[in-house]
Amino acid sequence: MQEMPDIVLKRKRLSKTKTVVIFRRNNLSFTDFSEITGGYVYEEIFKHHGVSGRIKIVVDSENLYDIFNVNTKSVKIKGGKDHFGIFLRFGDQKKLPLNKAGSIGCVRFELDCEGKELFYDGKKKSDPGVEIHDTSKHRSISAPASLSWAASHPFQGGGFSPR
């Protein structure tokens, strides 16, 4: 089974006309959060497929378990105290830099990204060490004269002569 990556940042096409930006941070635990006055904070600088960024998550509550009460279409936090993930979904933005901030319930987040471009779901930069073969150049193969192409039925395109 393939492991979940710690960070995912991509564009995802939902339909022909709707595209969203998705950020997902997996493998978090309560020990990753620092305590501040009136709540908790998590901050990380990351690099993902040529995009560098910073994520900051602030929980405005004395109880860190309140983070699991947030479950909307744009922000989801799922898991347990030792292992959980945070999912953020924004409207499409084709060009970087990406600066998004928001607040849902007791959770505030800031996401700042810089780089060349965000890739779509499933597309990754090609590895320079991997060689890609061009399959568009094919040679035509001539069939030998001894080979008969006539079909046994007239609807199959071959000739049929009654006896």
DSSP codes of every residue in 34-103: EEETTEEEEEEEEEETTEEEEEEEEE-SS-GGGGGG-B-SSEEEEE-SSSEEEEEEEE---SS-EEEEEE
Round the average pLDDT of the chain to a whole number and report it: 78
Determine what percent of the chain is predicted with pLDDT higher than 90.
12
Q: What is the pLDDT of residues 87-105, one digit of tens each?
A: 988 887 777 888 888 888 8
Select from 101, 107, 37, 40 the least CA-distant residue to 70: 107
Rounded to the nearest angstrom, the gap between the alpha carbon of residue 130 and the centroid of all alpha carbons in its chain is 22
* pLDDT tens, residue by residue, 103-131: 888 889 998 988 877 777 654 555 454 45
**Ramachandran quadrant class, 65 (left: phi over 0; alpha: psi -120 to 50; beta: rest):** alpha
User: What mean pLDDT is predicted for residues 67-81?
Assistant: 86
The answer to whether residues 25 and 6 touch, using CB atoms and an 8 Å cutoff, is: yes
Residue 30 predicted with pLDDT over 60:
yes
Number of Cβ atoms within 10 Å of the Cβ of 95: 8
pLDDT reported for residue 51: 86
DSSP β-bridge partners for residue 13:
19
List, for residues 34-67, the tens digit of each pLDDT value.
Answer: 999 889 999 999 888 888 889 999 999 988 888 8
Q: Is the pLDDT of residue 19 over 60?
A: yes
Query: For position 158, what pLDDT does the model report?
Result: 56
- Reply yes or no on whether the pLDDT at 145 is more than 70: no
